[in-house]
């Protein structure tokens, strides 16, 4: 391909789109056709290099693209029609924005001359998606189409990744225009406005390392930014943690960047994080935040958040710095570059620095660990949800396994009990908390990793939000496994009603649930059900042996709550463990107004 | 990627290193961020003059709950299609820093300048004010306008339209005085602002030279 950026023969806008996607290395597009995108679908029909995955709802298309993106590190691509196609995609786009997932979403639009006339299936897509995308475009000139697509991929990937929408009026895609290749080599210029900083300031690294070397109670607090910075960042994180000997915790989004088997690993931090992690956050004297954003699920009450620590914050997005928590040493840059620099400077400075004794700190951590905050008792005839997930972990850990989740109690139990050793294996909706995320995300991940085991750990309520995507899984022979932790309640809602609203379970019980085994069969999948703890292992093994989509309906103890928990409005050192009496857990006062 | 200092020259700053020596681009001292007082800031933002760019900026302010006291926007470079948005806003230092960071990461934004923080600046707005009245009120209004240097841009037997160019405060003062003198309508532009002295706002953004460009995979 010429790298001169010189225009080629004119071709239809729709053909330009396909060519630009091919040039960007796109292999898969998740989409759903409709009137405004028919010319694009016609071009799709004429070629073989890009595979189209027909979803059953546009929200599913975006989540599937997210699952694909998160499990591969590539940009996920979505193609939907105008109006309802675009509005249905909005939840997925918002999800991708909150979790910093690179997505390019092509939306059809009514022809240019009809825009603003309330035409059939018209929606102000760029207006609607402006706050839920990193950037969006309305293409009015077919000759700019190719470069806009190239730029969209750059914007989706560069800096803090995110979703980008390209709105395509039907007349533009039906008009011939010039194709332009993405500028390469010497023709590659800096983007005229968007050039996020990737290499941190030297002084920032120096000051960070100085704090680390003097720390008596250090703690790494890492997040999804490490995953987004690529496998190299995870490898460098392991190196730095090893080099320093410091303990490490992670947000929900960052699980897998550091191996759960590592002796310095404390487990997840935050509202349903581990006791030792939260206590370490509260008591540390130097906090090294890498690629996390001090989200309210992590910090608890900001007034009492880690009151005695100096804070280092590595983030590629300057707006994440000092947003919720004021930090002492901001390090703006790519996590991998920052880690590499920190390792280098740490090694150099360590020789001259006085040795700091952290043994008292490790002793405290050992005491917190000894509380065994995740303890539960599997006894009697009811399956404990924790037990089901723990067995799933034990039986699948030796395979290449990708775990997706829906949102709620099962998600938190999955984060607590499934132990991740590698990045990009854990796909969950963290920021937006989107029920219905897990199944389409599993489809996206399975598509990228045909031989891997992909399991959606689900709740019986969440799974119904995008259950139609089972049909997609079957059509494309994607043997995803749906492991439903079925307690017949919207479990997390029920738990909060117990803690906040006197046990008045308003609308959180689902009557008339479908028979999930028959549902699976109706979709040409396999359905399994287990209600006896003694049969959990066999059921999981059976599930794993079936080379088709499987729903496993795990009937669990309906009353089980997800602990430990930082009640809303409380600090890290006010965690409640599962053992306290219910009366002590009641949340009152200002905390009750928080979500 | 920039040149990295080697282990040998990675200096260890002494404990006596003063505050300013520790400052670097992107770092804001903690004490400043913890100041809970509200400050008025004038920000100038150079943006690509493309469809929807103003909506991006105003949507950012409304969506994140920031305050806008005034906002002006106009193309300032026709050839490069660059517009300048001047925003007058108020908030704590932490909020102002956040506003600047949020503006800075919008894709069509070239540069964000805090004219309040970056040394002295000049700020002007234009106001048109309609006064209706006869007799003493009318002559008092004329005298008030004269005292403040307002121009009469239209005069009828019963009304005046005054034009005043000045700082927001000057215009506020002028309007307060006109209120008992038959003021019936005000139209203001909001503040335009520019830095004092020889320094100009750069049309190019000030990206670090190391920016990692990946236009193609």
How many Å is the maximal CA-CA distance in chain A? 75
Average pLDDT over residues A229-238: 98
pLDDT at A48 over 70: yes
The predicted structure's pLDDT at residue B5: 38
B13 or A307, greater pLDDT = A307
Which of B2, B14, B24 is best to mutate for the A interface (most A CBs within 10 A)?
B24
> Which has the closest alpha carbon to A136: A153, A112, A115, A152?
A152
Q: Which of residues 8-47 of B touch A (CB under 8 A)?
A: 8, 10-13, 22-28, 30, 33-34
Structure confidence at residue B202 as a pLDDT band (50, 70, 90): confident
Q: Which residues of B touch A154 (CB under 8 A)?
A: 213-215
Mean of per-residue pLDDT scores for chain A:
95
Per-residue pLDDT reduced to its tens digit, A355-394: 999 999 999 999 999 999 999 999 999 999 999 999 999 9
Which residues 6+ apart lie within 8 Å of A247 measured at CB? A218, A219, A220, A264, A265, A266, A280, A361, A362, A365
Residue B98 has its nearest CB partner, among A23, A193, A319, at: A319
- The mean pLDDT value for A435-456 works out to 98
Query: HSE of A419 in the Cβ direction (CA atoms, 13 Å)?
Result: 13
Which of A73, A195, A325 has the highest number of chain B CBs within 10 A, making it the mutation to test binding with B? A195
pLDDT at B19: 57
CA distance A385 to A485: 6
Contact flag B208-A188 (C-beta cutoff 8 Å): no
Q: Which two tokens stand for residue A283?
A: 């008591």
Percent of chain A with pLDDT over 90: 92
**B79 CA: distance to closest CA in chain A (Å):** 14
> For residue A412, which of A268, A543, A275, A229 has the smallest C-alpha distance?
A268
Q: What angle do CA A323, B111, A191 make, to 5 degrees?
A: 105
pLDDT of A3 over the 60 cut: no
Quick one: average pLDDT of A556-583? 85
Of A4, A43, A50, A16, the C-alpha closest to A148 is A16
A492 catalytic per annotation: yes
Burial A110-131 (b: 16+ CB within 10 A, else e): bbbeebeeebebbbebbebbbb
H or E element: which one contains A235?
A: helix A231-244
pLDDT number for residue A155: 97
Alpha carbon distance B28, B5 (integer Å): 24
- The two three-digit tokens of residue B217, written as one number: 């995979």
Q: Tokens 């980008």 — which residue?
A: A164
* Distances A209 to A214, A296, A348, B39 between C-alpha atoms, Å: 9, 27, 10, 34
Which residues of A fall within a CB distance of 8 Å from B207?
190, 195, 197
For residue A585, what pLDDT band results from cuts at 50, 70 and 90? low
pLDDT of B8: 38
Highest mean pLDDT among A22-36, A179-193, A497-511: A22-36
What's the alpha-carbon Rg for chain A, to the nearest Å? Answer: 25
B70-91 residue pLDDT tens: 999 999 999 999 999 999 999 9
Q: Which residues of chain A neighbour B13 with C-beta distances below 8 Å?
A: 206-207, 210
Distance CA A78, CA A55 (A): 10
B27–A330 CB contact, under 8 Å: yes
Q: Which of A23, A58, A151, A498 is catalytic?
A: A58
Chosen from A137, A326, A345 to mutate, greatest number of chain B CBs within 10 A: A326
- Say yes or no for a CB contact (<8 Å) between A197 and B210: yes
Is pLDDT at A340 greater than 70 in this prediction?
A: yes
Is the predicted pLDDT of residue B205 greater than 70, yes or no?
Answer: no
Residue B20: pLDDT band with limits 50, 70, 90: low
Residue A2's pLDDT is: 47
Residue A558: what pLDDT? Answer: 95
Judge whether A212 counts as a catalytic residue: no
* Nearest Cβ partner for B108 among A157, A193, A347: A193
Count of beta carbons in the 10 Å neighbourhood of residue A224? 28
Residue A422, pLDDT > 50, answer yes
**Measured distance CA(A72)–CA(A441) in Å, rounded:** 12
| Whole-number Å distance between alpha carbons of A143 and A152 | 15
Q: How far apart are CA B99 and CA B90, in angstroms?
A: 10
Mean pLDDT for A397-425 is 98
SS3 state at A572: helix
- Are the beta carbons of B107 and A348 separated by less than 8 Å? no
For B157, other C-beta atoms within 10 Å of its C-beta total: 6
The pTM of the full predicted model, rounded to 2 decimals, is 0.93
Q: Tens digits of per-residue pLDDT, B100-113?
A: 999 999 999 999 99
A564 prior amide bond cis, ω within 30: yes
What separation in angstroms does the CA of A545 have from each of A387, A419, A448?
A: 21, 22, 20
Distance CA A248, CA A230 (A): 19
Q: How far is B1 from chain A (nearest CA, A)?
A: 7
Angle between helices A13-23 and A38-45 (to 10 degrees): 60
- Chain A nearest CA to B88, separation (Å): 20
Question: What number is the average pLDDT over the span A137-141?
Answer: 98
pLDDT at residue B25, as a whole number: 87
Contact criterion met (CB < 8 Å) for B216 and A182: yes
A43 φ, ψ (degrees, to nearest 5): -70, -35
Q: What is the pLDDT of residue B26?
A: 87
Structure tokens at A591: 């905390």
Q: What share of chain A is helix, strand, coil (3-state, %, to 5)?
A: 45, 15, 40
Q: Could you give phi then psi for residue A44, rounded to 5 degrees?
A: -60, -40
For the record, the structure tokens of A350 come out as 């360590």
Which string of DSSP letters, residue by residue, matches A411-467? HHHHHHHSPP-STT-EE---SS--TT-HHHHHHHHHHH-TTSEEEEEEETTGGGGSG
| Cβ pair A229, A335 in contact under 8 A | yes
Measure CA B48 to chain center.
Answer: 17
B38-47 average pLDDT score: 97
When pLDDT is averaged across residues A13-29 and rounded to a whole number, the result is: 98
pLDDT in tens, A213-225: 999 999 999 999 9
What is the model's pLDDT at position B209?
A: 39
pLDDT at residue number B208: 40
Looking at residue B13, what is its pLDDT? 42
What value does the mean pLDDT of chain B take? 87
In this predicted structure, what is the pLDDT of residue A580? 59
Question: Tokens at residue A81, please?
Answer: 């029609």
Q: B120: exposed, middle or buried (C-beta count within 10 Å: 0-12, 13-18, 19+)?
A: exposed
Q: Order of strands, edge to edge, in the sheet holding A481-486?
A: A426-427, A401-405, A453-459, A481-486, A550-555, A526-530
Structure confidence by residue, pLDDT tens digits, A462-508: 999 999 999 999 999 999 999 999 999 999 999 999 988 999 999 99
- Measure CA of the first residue to CA of the last residue in chain A; give whole Å: 53
Interface of B with A in 110-139 (CB under 8 A): 110
Predicted local distance difference test score (pLDDT) of residue A468: 98
């Amino acid at each position: 391909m010429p790298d001169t950026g010189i225009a080629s023969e004119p071709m239809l806008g729709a053909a330009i789109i396909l060519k630009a996607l091919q040039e960007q290395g796109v292999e898969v597009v998740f989409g759903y056709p409709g009137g405004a995108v028919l010319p694009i679908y016609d071009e799709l029909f004429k070629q073989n290099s890009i595979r189209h995955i027909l979803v059953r709802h546009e929200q599913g298309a975006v989540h599937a693209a997210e699952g694909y993106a998160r499990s591969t590190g590539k940009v996920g691509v979505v193609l939907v029609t105008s109006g309802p196609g675009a509005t249905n995609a909005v939840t997925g786009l918002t999800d991708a924005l909150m979790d910093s997932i690179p997505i390019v979403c092509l939306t059809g639009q009514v022809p240019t001359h009809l825009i603003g006339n309330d035409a059939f299936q018209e929606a102000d897509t760029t207006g609607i998606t402006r706050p839920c995308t990193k950037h969006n475009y309305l293409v009015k000139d077919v000759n700019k189409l190719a470069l806009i697509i190239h730029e969209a991929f750059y914007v989706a990937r560069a800096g803090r990744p995110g979703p980008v929408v390209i709105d395509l009026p039907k007349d533009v895609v039906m008009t011939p225009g010039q194709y332009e290749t993405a500028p390469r080599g010497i023709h590659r210029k800096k983007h005229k406005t968007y050039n996020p900083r990737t290499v941190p300031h030297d002084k920032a690294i120096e000051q960070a390392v100085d704090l680390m070397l003097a720390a008596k109670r250090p703690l790494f607090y890492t997040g999804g930014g490490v995953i987004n910075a690529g496998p190299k960042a995870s490898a460098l994180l392991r190196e730095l943690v090893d080099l320093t000997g410091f303990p490490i915790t992670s947000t929900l989004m960052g699980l897998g960047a550091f191996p759960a088997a590592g002796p310095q690993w404390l487990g997840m931090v935050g509202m349903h994080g581990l006791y030792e992690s939260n206590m370490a956050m509260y008591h540390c004297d130097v906090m090294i935040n890498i690629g996390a954003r001090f989200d309210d699920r992590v910090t608890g009450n900001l007034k009492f958040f880690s009151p005695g620590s100096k804070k280092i914050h590595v983030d590629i997005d300057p707006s994440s710095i000092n947003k919720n928590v004021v930090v002492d040493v901001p390090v703006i840059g790519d996590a991998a570059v920052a880690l590499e620099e920190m390792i280098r400077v740490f090694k150099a400075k360590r020789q001259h620095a006085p040795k700091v004794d952290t043994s008292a700190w490790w002793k405290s951590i050992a005491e917190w660990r000894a509380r065994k905050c995740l303890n539960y008792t599997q006894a009697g005839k009811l399956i404990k949800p924790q037990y089901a997930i723990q067995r799933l972990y034990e039986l699948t850990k030796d395979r290449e396994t990708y775990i997706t989740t829906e949102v709620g109690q099962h998600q938190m139990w999955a984060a607590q009990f499934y132990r991740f050793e590698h990045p990009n294996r854990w796909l969950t909706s963290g920021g937006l908390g989107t029920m219905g995320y897990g199944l389409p995300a599993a489809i996206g991940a399975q598509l990228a990793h045909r031989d891997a085991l992909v399991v959606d750990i689900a709740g019986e309520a969440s799974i119904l939000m995008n259950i139609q995507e089972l049909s997609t899984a079957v059509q494309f022979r994607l043997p995803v496994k749906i492991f439903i932790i079925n307690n017949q309640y919207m479990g997390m809602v029920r738990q909060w009603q117990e803690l906040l609203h006197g046990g008045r379970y308003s609308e959180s019980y689902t009557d008339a649930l479908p028979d999930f085994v028959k549902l699976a069969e109706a979709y040409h999948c396999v359905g399994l059900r287990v209600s006896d703890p003694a049969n959990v292992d066999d059921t999981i093994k059976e599930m794993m042996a079936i080379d088709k989509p499987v729903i496993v309906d795990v009937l669990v103890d309906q009353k089980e709550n997800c602990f430990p928990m930082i009640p809303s409005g409380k600090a890290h050192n006010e965690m409640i463990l599962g053992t306290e009496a219910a009366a002590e857990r009641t949340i009152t006062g200002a905390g009750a107004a928080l979500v | 990627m920039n040149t990295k200092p080697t282990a040998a020259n990675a200096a260890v700053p002494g404990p006596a290193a003063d505050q300013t020596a520790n400052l670097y681009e992107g770092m804001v001292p903690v004490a400043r961020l913890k100041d809970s007082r509200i400050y008025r800031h004038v920000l100038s933002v150079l943006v690509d003059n493309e469809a929807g760019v103003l909506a991006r900026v105003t949507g950012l302010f409304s969506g994140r709950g920031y305050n806008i006291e005034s906002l002006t926007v106009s193309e300032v470079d026709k050839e490069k299609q660059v517009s300048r948005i001047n925003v007058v806003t108020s908030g704590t230092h932490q909020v102002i820093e956040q506003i600047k960071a949020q503006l800075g990461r919008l894709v069509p934004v070239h540069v964000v300048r805090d004219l309040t923080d970056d040394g002295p600046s000049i700020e002007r707005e234009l106001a048109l004010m309609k006064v209706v009245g006869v007799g003493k009120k009318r002559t008092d209004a004329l005298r008030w306008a004269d005292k403040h240097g307002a121009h009469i841009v239209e005069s009828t037997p019963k009304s005046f339209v005054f034009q005043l160019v000045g700082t927001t405060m000057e215009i506020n003062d002028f309007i307060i005085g006109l209120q008992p003198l038959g003021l019936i309508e005000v139209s203001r532009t909001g503040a335009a602002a520019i830095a004092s002295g020889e320094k100009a706002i750069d049309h190019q953004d000030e990206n670090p030279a190391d920016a990692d460009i990946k236009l193609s995979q």
